[in-house]
Amino acid sequence: MGWARCVICFLAVCLHTCVCTGLPEPKSRTHCELGKFPCGNLPTCLPLQLQCDGKEDCSNGADEVNCGDNNGWPDHLQSQVVNPSLDSAGIPRDCHLDLPVVPYLCQCIYTHIKCEKLGLVSIPANISQDVTRLNLQHNLIESLQNNSLGKLTALRSLNLRGNRIRTLPAGAFKGLTNLGQLYLSENLLETLPAGAFQGLQRLKWLYLQRNELKSLHADVFQGLNSLNWLDLRFNSLQNLPSGLWCDHMPALLWLEMEGNDIEQLTSSSFTRCSSLTVVNVRNNSLKSIGRDTFTPLSSVWELDISWNSLAPLPIGTFNGLGHLKLLNLSYNSDMILSLDLFFGLDNLTSLDLRGLEMSQDCQHSRVLLSLENLHFVYFDDFSYCRYALQARGCSPKSDGISSLENLLALEFLRVVVWVLACFTVLGNSFVILGRLLIKNENNMHSLFIRNLCAADLLMGVYLIIIASRDVIYRNEFIQHALSWQESVLCQFSGFLAMLSSEVSVLLLAYMSMERCLIIVFPFRTMEPSTRQNQTFIACIWLFGLLIATLPFLIQDSTCFYGSSSVCFPLHLRSPYGQGWVYGAVVFIGLNLCAWFIILLCYVCMFVSIHRTRMRTTGQPTHKADWIGWRFFFIVLTDSLCWIPTVVLKLLVLHGVNISETFNAVIAVVVLPINSSINPILYSISTSNFKDGSLRIFRTRRQSLSRIVTGNSAGNTNMSARTSLDQGNPEGQVLVEEKESTL
Ligand SMILES: *[C@@H]1O[C@H](CO)[C@@H](O)[C@H](O)[C@H]1NC(C)=O
Ligand SMILES: *[C@@H]1O[C@H](CO)[C@@H](O)[C@H](O)[C@H]1NC(C)=O
Ligand SMILES: *[C@@H]1O[C@H](CO)[C@@H](O)[C@H](O)[C@H]1NC(C)=O
Ligand SMILES: *[C@@H]1O[C@H](CO)[C@@H](O)[C@H](O)[C@H]1NC(C)=O
Ligand SMILES: *[C@@H]1O[C@H](CO)[C@@H](O)[C@H](O)[C@H]1NC(C)=O
Ligand SMILES: *[C@@H]1O[C@H](CO)[C@@H](O)[C@H](O)[C@H]1NC(C)=O
């Protein structure tokens, strides 16, 4: 009686400690919960998406400070430039002071003329020669006559956007020697003749986007000596202009090729394009990039080859791009990326690697760390952030399990992991000790239970390692992430978890088969001998050891066990990463088989018992319901723990995206939960427990030992007693015996 109270006190203290360690520390004033950020030194916390959204949400504006990665400013600039605003309100129709002749219906101010959406089919005649800006967008102009523009020598900006121009005569713009901006976007141009832009020696910006250009000859660009910006987006180009096209544009800085059909870039694509600073080949059909393609681009600082179908790039593809600041490789679904590619990109500030599969070459994982200027990195997977610790803005910020700050990001996870760890360790060691101390054993059942508990105990050790590491790394996890995941302890805990879960699964399956044999064929000697059982159990342990050691033998285990911060190799986030076959076979094949065996055995047993009972008593008793429920519960908990894993694994292999929190819950809660309730299910809550707990007031000591040692300890006496008490026929004794061995 005394020691029972002690045990209960001890349990209570343990649980309390566990829960308290798992709970977060009291929050400091500016510490915000996950997914929120603090407004500088104010106590306000706002959702992350309000950070750097261009609006000041904090009263002190702290959310818009240091936002830095201002990519997309070409688009911004574009919108400024393409619609040069000419206020329509209050514009005098007559502007004879500045321009003596203005076409009918056109608006003008100073020396700007605007003839928008007037249905014009040709360039209006009688435009004053002094006009500096001519806006003819959204008309029906189909061709440009030879001389219709030639006289307008003062013209700086000509906007022919949204017309129906199919072709340009050579020298169409001859004479426009002051023209700086030419808008030919949204027309129907299919080809351009050589020398189409001859004479435009001051042209800086040329817009040819959204035409139907299929190919371009180098000589098209003859004479564009000052061109800075060439916009060829959303055409149907299959190649870059051929030949030494850059020679014609010695000042070209910016090349926009987004949304074409370019399939490959070769070493001659950018020959002599050394002036280029921005190259955008986004959303093309790029399949390969030749070895020295980018070598001529010695001054490029932004390179965007996202949304293509690039095959893995050869090492050295980006050699010599020392000025490169922004590199966007995102969403090249066929690419398996090696971080070695980025070696030597010392000025790289922003790197977008979303939607890419990473090769797991761990040895080189420190390449990104050597890029001192890297401030913004975008990954698919949070855990890669550990490769770029110096980057202030690494996204995503969490993988559902860990965040940049904590190994276990969610508070509820921390608590649950501690509680599970305590339950598992205490419950299992309690049962093992109990069975060792109380010598009533040479019972097979007890051997099973002891082994099962030993296996489950390992899971408890694993949980404690993870939970304590979480406490150690609190608030600074990402700094330790790489060393943690490469550490021996992480490999070891992953090994423990794997060993535990597989041995536990196999033991349960074997146990159910063994009992099934005994119960379904009670009068035949189907029961395996003790020696056989021992051999089987030893084999199961060996097999479990083999499974858990395999990753160490066949590949670099750092990549396998250390692939997630909880060191459990479920690989839900990169289902086809290294060693995925192994994971699939173990988690889907083995577990599913074991579950089927257990299910089958229990169905057999239940049917058998039900039959016996009907034969002996004629009708199901109240007790049969209890057995039914226990069957149901055992199969249910096994299913609840394994089936989600199996289903998730299958879904993930079929390319379904799984919510991140879900992922976390599976990995550290659902899988281990079996280990913590197994002792209860198989040892404590047997049918004797019910009777035992009723008797607990009468014969405390006895029933406590019965609870501890489970059914096997007292079952014969118990059932004998019940049957004697109730004066039942012998058939009833048989049923009771069956029940208690389950
Ligand atoms: C253009 O100007 C000439 C004389 O300068 C005039 O005869 C002619 O009618 C004008 N045409 C239009 C379309 O305004
Ligand atoms: C343009 O000029 C060329 C000769 O320079 C001539 O052959 C052609 O017919 C002219 N086109 C138009 C539409 O006037
Ligand atoms: C890429 O282009 C296709 C059409 O060619 C378009 O549907 C898609 O939205 C584009 N993707 C991106 C990211 O721009
Ligand atoms: C990279 O490209 C993708 C789409 O092509 C775009 O959504 C993303 O913003 C780009 N990343 C950076 C850092 O510019
Ligand atoms: C990085 O940029 C600076 C300034 O633009 C330049 O001086 C330096 O050479 C660059 N680094 C490399 C490796 O080219
Ligand atoms: C079980 O009961 C028998 C008498 O029915 C007794 O001799 C035996 O010691 C009891 N065993 C235990 C473990 O209580």
User: Whose C-alpha lies nearest to ligand 1, atom 4?
Assistant: 126
**How far is it, in rounded angstroms, from Cα 591 to Cα 110?**
80
Q: Which of 24-28, 307-311, 412-416, 530-534 has the highest mean pLDDT?
A: 307-311
Residue 86: inside a domain, yes or no?
A: no
With a 6 A CB cut-off, is 51 part of the ligand 4 pocket? no
* pLDDT of res. 11: 57
Ranking 8-17, 528-537, 670-679, 718-727 by mean pLDDT, the lowest is 718-727
Q: In the predicted model, is pLDDT for residue 293 greater than 80?
A: yes
The dihedral built from the CA positions of residue 702, 704, 707 and 712, taken in this order, carries a sign that is negative
Are 491 and 558 within 8 A, CB to CB? Answer: yes
476 CA distance to ligand 1 middle (Å): 78
Residue 317: inside a domain, yes or no?
A: yes
The dihedral built from the CA positions of residue 122, 124, 129 and 131, taken in this order, carries a sign that is negative
Ligand 1 atom with minimal separation from the 103 CA: 14
With a 6 A CB cut-off, is 147 part of the ligand 2 pocket? no
* pLDDT of res. 95: 59
With a 6 A CB cut-off, is 398 part of the ligand 3 pocket? no
User: Whose C-alpha lies nearest to ligand 1, atom 14?
Assistant: 126
Nearest ligand for residue 169 CA: 2
Asked whether residue 692 falls in the same domain as residue 681, the answer is no
Asked whether residue 205 falls in the same domain as residue 332, the answer is no
Report which of residues 82 and 593 the model is more confident about: 593
Asked whether residue 621 falls in the same domain as residue 691, the answer is no
- Under the banding of pLDDT at 50, 70 and 90, the label for residue 704 is very low
User: Whose C-alpha lies nearest to ligand 1, atom 7?
Assistant: 126
Terminal-to-terminal C-alpha distance of the chain: 29
- Under the banding of pLDDT at 50, 70 and 90, the label for residue 375 is confident
With a 6 A CB cut-off, is 145 part of the ligand 2 pocket? yes
Asked whether residue 312 falls in the same domain as residue 446, the answer is no
* pLDDT of res. 546: 92
Asked whether residue 288 falls in the same domain as residue 315, the answer is yes
User: Whose C-alpha lies nearest to ligand 2, atom 2?
Assistant: 146
- Mean of the pLDDT values across residues 388-393? 77
- Tokens 């209860």 belong to 680
User: Whose C-alpha lies nearest to ligand 1, atom 5?
Assistant: 126
With a 6 A CB cut-off, is 423 part of the ligand 3 pocket? no
Q: Which of 122, 146, 148 to mutate to test the pocket of ligand 2 (most atoms within 8 A of CB)?
A: 146
Query: Does the pTM exceed 0.75?
Result: no
Q: Ligand 5: residues within 6 Å at CB? A: 322-323, 346-347
209 CA distance to ligand 3 middle (Å): 15
Q: In the predicted model, is pLDDT for residue 388 greater than 60?
A: yes
Residue 592: inside a domain, yes or no?
A: yes
Ligand 2 atom with minimal separation from the 146 CA: 1
Helix (H, G, I), strand (E, B) or coil at 90: coil
Are 707 and 485 within 8 A, CB to CB? Answer: no
Ranking 401-405, 659-663, 711-715 by mean pLDDT, the lowest is 711-715
Amino acid at 458: L
Count Cβ atoms below 10 Å from residue 618 Cβ, excluding itself. 8
**How far is it, in rounded angstroms, from Cα 126 to Cα 144?**
15
* pLDDT of res. 719: 38
Q: Strand pairing partners for 229? A: 205, 254
**How far is it, in rounded angstroms, from Cα 478 to Cα 389?**
7
Residue 66: inside a domain, yes or no?
A: no
Q: What percent of the chain has pLDDT over 70?
A: 72
Ligand 2 atom with minimal separation from the 171 CA: 5
Q: In the predicted model, is pLDDT for residue 713 greater than 50?
A: no
48 CA distance to ligand 1 middle (Å): 63
Asked whether residue 701 falls in the same domain as residue 675, the answer is no
Residue 47 CB partners (closer than 8 Å, separation 6+): 35, 36
Ligand 1 atom with minimal separation from the 104 CA: 14
With a 6 A CB cut-off, is 283 part of the ligand 3 pocket? yes
Ligand 1 atom with minimal separation from the 126 CA: 1
Asked whether residue 579 falls in the same domain as residue 634, the answer is yes
- Mean of the pLDDT values across residues 215-231? 91
With a 6 A CB cut-off, is 591 part of the ligand 4 pocket? no
Ligand 4 atom with minimal separation from the 69 CA: 13
- Tokens 């069957």 belong to 631
Residue 262 CB partners (closer than 8 Å, separation 6+): 237, 238, 239, 240, 281, 284, 285, 286
Asked whether residue 430 falls in the same domain as residue 488, the answer is yes
> What's the CATH code of the domain at 521?
1.20.1070.10
Nearest ligand for residue 168 CA: 2
Asked whether residue 443 falls in the same domain as residue 582, the answer is yes
**How far is it, in rounded angstroms, from Cα 78 to Cα 347?**
26
Residue 69: inside a domain, yes or no?
A: no
Q: In the predicted model, is pLDDT for residue 619 greater than 70?
A: no
* pLDDT of res. 431: 83
* pLDDT of res. 16: 61
With a 6 A CB cut-off, is 307 part of the ligand 4 pocket? yes
Nearest ligand for residue 320 CA: 5
User: Whose C-alpha lies nearest to ligand 1, atom 10?
Assistant: 126
Residue 538: inside a domain, yes or no?
A: yes
Nearest ligand for residue 277 CA: 5
With a 6 A CB cut-off, is 280 part of the ligand 4 pocket? no
**How far is it, in rounded angstroms, from Cα 257 to Cα 267?**
17
Owning domain of residue 43: 2-61
With a 6 A CB cut-off, is 105 part of the ligand 1 pocket? no
Q: In the predicted model, is pLDDT for residue 161 greater than 90?
A: yes
Asked whether residue 383 falls in the same domain as residue 438, the answer is no
720 CA distance to ligand 6 middle (Å): 10
Q: Which of 451-465, 619-633, 652-666 has the highest mean pLDDT?
A: 451-465
* pLDDT of res. 352: 93
User: Whose C-alpha lies nearest to ligand 6, atom 6?
Assistant: 717
* pLDDT of res. 335: 84
Q: Which of 4-13, 174-183, 550-559 has the highest mean pLDDT?
A: 174-183
Residue 81: inside a domain, yes or no?
A: no
pLDDT digits (tens, 9 = 90+) for 546-604: 998 888 876 665 667 777 788 887 776 666 766 678 878 888 888 889 888 988 888 88
User: Whose C-alpha lies nearest to ligand 1, atom 8?
Assistant: 126
Asked whether residue 691 falls in the same domain as residue 558, the answer is no
Tokens standing for residue 651: 């879904």
User: Whose C-alpha lies nearest to ligand 6, atom 1?
Assistant: 717
> What's the CATH code of the domain at 375?
3.80.10.10
Residue 689 main-chain phi, psi, to 5 deg? -60, -40
Residue 577: inside a domain, yes or no?
A: yes
Ligand 5 atom with minimal separation from the 373 CA: 1
Tokens standing for residue 180: 């700086």
Ligand 6 atom with minimal separation from the 440 CA: 13
With a 6 A CB cut-off, is 395 part of the ligand 4 pocket? no
With a 6 A CB cut-off, is 553 part of the ligand 1 pocket? no
* pLDDT of res. 684: 58
Amino acid at 420: L
- Mean of the pLDDT values across residues 81-97? 46
Q: Which of 126, 128, 129, 148 to mutate to test the pocket of ligand 1 (most atoms within 8 A of CB)?
A: 126
With a 6 A CB cut-off, is 146 part of the ligand 2 pocket? yes
110 CA distance to ligand 3 middle (Å): 41
Q: In the predicted model, is pLDDT for residue 718 greater than 90?
A: no
Rg (CA), the chain: 37
Q: Which of 397, 424, 444 is the last residue of a domain?
A: 397
Asked whether residue 620 falls in the same domain as residue 674, the answer is yes
Q: Which of 695, 717, 724 to mutate to test the pocket of ligand 6 (most atoms within 8 A of CB)?
A: 717
The domain total for the chain is 5
Nearest ligand for residue 235 CA: 3
* pLDDT of res. 333: 82
Read off the DSSP letter of residue 198.
Answer: T
Mean residue pLDDT across the chain: 77
**How far is it, in rounded angstroms, from Cα 337 to Cα 622?**
63
353 CA distance to ligand 4 middle (Å): 9
322 CA distance to ligand 5 middle (Å): 6
Nearest ligand for residue 171 CA: 2
Nearest ligand for residue 355 CA: 4
* pLDDT of res. 112: 84
Q: Which of 307, 329, 331, 333 to mutate to test the pocket of ligand 3 (most atoms within 8 A of CB)?
A: 307
Nearest ligand for residue 127 CA: 1
